[in-house]
Structure 1
Amino acid sequence: MARRKSSDDEAKKGAPEWMTTYGDMVTLLLCFFVLLFAFSEVDAKKFDAFIQSFQGSLGVLDSGLTIEQSDYISEAMLHDLTTKQQEELEDFRKLKERLDEFLQDRNLDADILISLETRGLVVRFQDNVLFDPGDARLKSESEKILLEIAEFMQLPEYEEKNIRVEGHTDTVPTGNNSKYETNWELSTTRATNVVRYLSEKVGLRPERFTASGFSEYHPVAPNDTRENKAKNRRVDIVILRTEFIAPSPDLN
């Protein structure tokens, strides 16, 4: 005669009881990591903008570009700025509008480009606006342009802002007859001569300035055509936002 199944035998059918608890725990962990991933997406955007600004500011990262045409200050980042930072950003936007209008009135808007970045306002002098090919001496007509643009840097809203001048070249070597052994010397000397003119001739405080030469290693376009090489031969004057100013070295 077959043995009648007890209630204990029936209870043992199906998955073990501990699997229910384990399944709940795994589901909760999944939800937790999904939330972490969702939060990290916002931080990734900020991190990308931060890295992009350093690529041009310090010249130490492997990037193909010093500056992109896009505005790095996204709407998401605006919410994280303090009131003082937002006011500073608004001042830069006003300055950009005034400079754009100034350049258009003088038909210079094709040769001098203005862009607003996370690190500040960039005034880019294209190709031969300031210098003759292979030379680092400022052209006489370019001094007048620098003098007029320097007037904007002396306005009360910007007179305390620090300024970085960056020299860039294309990939064409300087040549045996050049006084500059490589493009490093050429780009650095160009940046230095712009700083010297703005401080010694125009009268801007020299402690506001730093000069950097990037040679051919931070192009804004591939060095594969004459037009692209012309884009890479440039000098950038960067009016820096407060938080992108490097602290002075402690000499004590």
Structure 2
Amino acid sequence: MRKKKKEEKKSTDGWMATYGDMVTLLLCFFVLLFSFSEIDAQKFQAVMKAFQGSLGVFTGGRTINSAPDIDMEEIPENLETSELEEVEDFKRLKALIEEYAEEQGLQDRIIAKIEERGLIIRALDNVFFDPGKTQIKPEAKKMLLYIGDILKKEELKSKHIKVEGHTDSNPTVNTALYPTNWELSVMRATKVVRFLIDNKNIDSKRISASGYSYYRPVAPNDTSENKAKNRRADIIILRSSYGKWEPN
């Protein structure tokens, strides 16, 4: 009787191995089908954005995530008319920022770029703030007022704005108020947002602040020159494709 039971158990295990082989073969079959098919890049991107949106923390499920620095100076093909107009608007605004920076002798420290997220106005090193401080420098306020005028232009009224604070990897100086670079970067971004709201009446529903410490560098934190690049404040005018959002 015992021998019979052992034989029955052995035969039960055998069908599981066959089933596993069949599932593996089916998987290989579908992988081959997928590799032979042609993918519509735009449709695939739309599906991915919809999936990402379902995991967001803002109303409608969309999170404004950091995107790779994809240069859009060369306008991509297959853009819709509204997207083409948007990029052209960004180009005109970029030229205004560059002209202003040159007039102020800040062309090496104020950078305007058109990337996948939108138009980025980047203030490097201590343009806005003194080392370890969060008070906006008096000479920087004039520039922020100029940027505020740009943000209120008719073509940007429906655009959302994200202000990001970034630091280098050096420990913070004022450890009582800002024990780490997290607090320092967040407070700096918040100060810029508050200044634009208070002095240029930017709608608070279309602007937000984020701080990333030294975890999103644009250069390795291995030299003083690179660290100066990483100490920055970014004002991003988001493209419409990133969707409308409001905090919950």
Q: Which TM-score band applies after superposition, normalised by the shorter structure?
A: 0.7 to 0.9
| Equivalent position of 2:241 in the other structure | 243
How far residue 74 of structure 1 moved from its aligned partner, in angstroms, is 6.4
Q: Distance in 1 between matches of 2:245 and 2:174?
A: 39
1:113 is aligned to 2:111: yes
CA-to-aligned-CA distance 1:120-166 (integer Å, 9 cap, x gap): 10000000000000111101111111111211111111122110000
Distance in 2 between residues matched to 1:34 and 1:58, nearest whole Å: 30
* Higher CA-based Rg: 1
User: How many angstroms does 1:42 deviate by?
Assistant: 5.3
Deviation at 1:105, TM superposition (A): 2.4
Partner of 1:91: 89
Tell me the CA shift for residue 106 of structure 1. Answer: 2.4
Q: 1:225 to 1:219 in 2, by over 3 A?
A: same
Task: Answer yes or no: is the 8 Å Cα contact 1:165–1:235 preserved in 2.
Answer: yes
Question: Which aligned runs of 4 or more in structure 1 are off by greater than 6 angstroms?
Answer: 31-34
What's the % identity of the aligned pairs? 42
Counterpart in 2 of 1:133? 131
RMSD over equivalenced CA pairs, Å:
3.2
Q: Give ranges in structure 2 of 5+ residues lacking alignment.
A: 1-29, 50-63
Q: Is the 8 A contact 2:68 2:116 kept in 1?
A: no
Partner of 1:6: none
Count of residue pairs brought into register by the alignment: 206
CA positional deviation for 1:72: 4.8
Name the structure 1 match of 2:77: 78
Report if aligned partners of 2:160, 2:244 keep a CA contact under 8 Å in 1. Answer: no
Does the residue aligned with 2:155 lie in a helix, a strand or coil?
coil
Measure the CA separation in 1 of the matches of 2:185 and 2:68.
17
- Alignment equivalent of 1:169, drawn from 134, 159, 167: 167
TM-score, normalised with respect to structure 1 = 0.71
Q: Are 2:161 and 2:208, in contact at CA under 8 Å, matched by a contact in 1? A: yes
Q: 200, 203, 207: which is aligned to 1:202?
A: 200
Query: Is the CA contact 1:67–1:220 (under 8 Å) kept in the aligned structure 2?
Result: no
